[in-house]
Amino acid sequence: MLRWLGVFERRVLIVTGKGGTGRSAVSAALAIKAARQGQRVLAVAMTDVLGLALHLGVPQLEYKPVQTRPGVWALAIDRTAALDEYIHLQLHLPRAAPLKPVARTFSALADTVPGIRDAVTIGKICWEAWSDEWDLIIADGPPLGQIDSYLRAPEAIAALVPSGRVQEQAAAMEELLADPNESGLIVTTLAEELPTLETNENLALFDERQSCQVAEVMVNGLLAELGAEVPLGQGPLRDAAVLHQQLHEGQQKWLSELPQGIQLPYLFGMLTAPEVAARLSEELP
């Protein structure tokens, strides 16, 4: 409990993890949990809209935040809209400027120079954090393989641009993300071979880069101990016990390779994504 209070005291949490480890489900569950504790939460779909929308139980997410339940608002980052917002609001472009051609130029560049795209995506999260409208922002982030380039985008932009407002903004973004009291990564994983190896590799990388600190590692889909001997005989009672036992043993082996994290149970019989998110939020310690 105390541990969570600490995690939720940050302003920005970015959820990342290997594909298939439950990023969207965990993002939604965290949002629900924080809202229950009285926080005003903004959930953000950074790269993939579908997963977060599904788990929050809404058909679609847009750039404008919509309330999905008491205390939880959600939006999906649309690169074009974010660029537009950046040019108009963040850069304070003079009125007389030829807005449309400039916006088109930026847009062409953002499609082509990925640093800009990543910077605007991560920038949107920072602007929302600075707006003081939210107590907590939970971003359903890109997979592990891509998160580093997003986190380093402000730094890359700052290095490319000689001076001026863009550079100041980039530096402020870098600072917000790197401050462990303000921002943190939530890394989702599974106790299986590839997720474990990839998680450990990336944890070392985050440690080295210091661009954003890891707040928690969350191990998803764990089976409890069977709690009995596998019965003799034949039939489903035995077969289910054998499968359970084997899966559990495999998980324990990989779990020992992972750092101490929050352990989340395998959810049996869940039919829909909102069900998964709701159950998961109750399972959070």
Partner 1 sequence: MTRTILVAGSGGVGKTTLSAALGVAAARSGAKTLVLTVDPARRLADALGMEQLGNVPTETNQEGLSAAMLDASAAWDALVDRHAPPDVAERLHASPYFRAIADRFPAGQSYAACEQMADHIDERFWDVVVVDTPPAEGGIDFFLAPGRVRRLVGGRLLRWLTGASLPGRRRLYSFTARPALRMADAIVGGPLLEEVAEFLLDLRALYDGVTRRARQIERQLKRAKTLVVTTAHPSPLAEATRFFTELPDAAGKPTSVAFNRALPPDWAAASSTDSGPLAENLKRWASESQRQLDAREAFGAQHRVEPAVIPWVAEAPTSLSQLGQLVRSAQGLDLEALGAVLAHSPGPP
Could you tell me which stretch among 36-44, 51-59, 174-182, 211-219 binds partner 1 (CB under 8 A)? 51-59
CB of 190 to partner 1, least distance (A): 7
Coil/strand/helix, residue 104: helix
Q: Segment 228-267, which members bind partner 1 (CB under 8 A)?
A: 228, 231, 235-237, 239-241, 243-244, 246-247, 249-250
Q: Is 227 left (phi over 0), alpha (psi -120 to 50) or beta?
A: left
CB of 10 to partner 1, least distance (A): 26
Spatial contact of 74 and 44, defined as CB atoms under 8 Å apart: yes
Spatial contact of 14 and 128, defined as CB atoms under 8 Å apart: no
CB of 156 to partner 1, least distance (A): 8
Could you tell me which stretch among 6-14, 57-65, 153-161, 210-218 binds partner 1 (CB under 8 A)? 153-161
Which stretches of the chain are DSSP H helices? 2-8, 23-36, 49-56, 79-85, 99-112, 114-130, 144-151, 153-160, 165-178, 193-209, 236-255, 273-283
Instruction: Indicate whether 195 belongs to the interface with partner 1 (CB under 8 A).
Output: yes
Instruction: Indicate whether 205 belongs to the interface with partner 1 (CB under 8 A).
Output: no
Q: Segment 95-124, which members bind partner 1 (CB under 8 A)?
A: 97-98, 101-102, 104-109, 111-115, 118
Q: Segment 20-39, which members bind partner 1 (CB under 8 A)?
A: 20-22, 24-25
Which residue type, as a one-letter code, is found at position 167? Q
CB of 21 to partner 1, least distance (A): 7
Residue 11 or 55: the one with the smaller Cβ distance to partner 1 is 55
Among 81, 93, 171, 214, binds partner 1 (CB under 8 A): 93
- The interaxial angle of helices 49-56 and 23-36, nearest 10 deg, is 40
Q: Segment 156-175, which members bind partner 1 (CB under 8 A)?
A: 156, 160-167
Nearest to 53 by CA among 140, 122, 144, 142: 140
Nearest to 280 by CA among 260, 268, 265, 262: 265
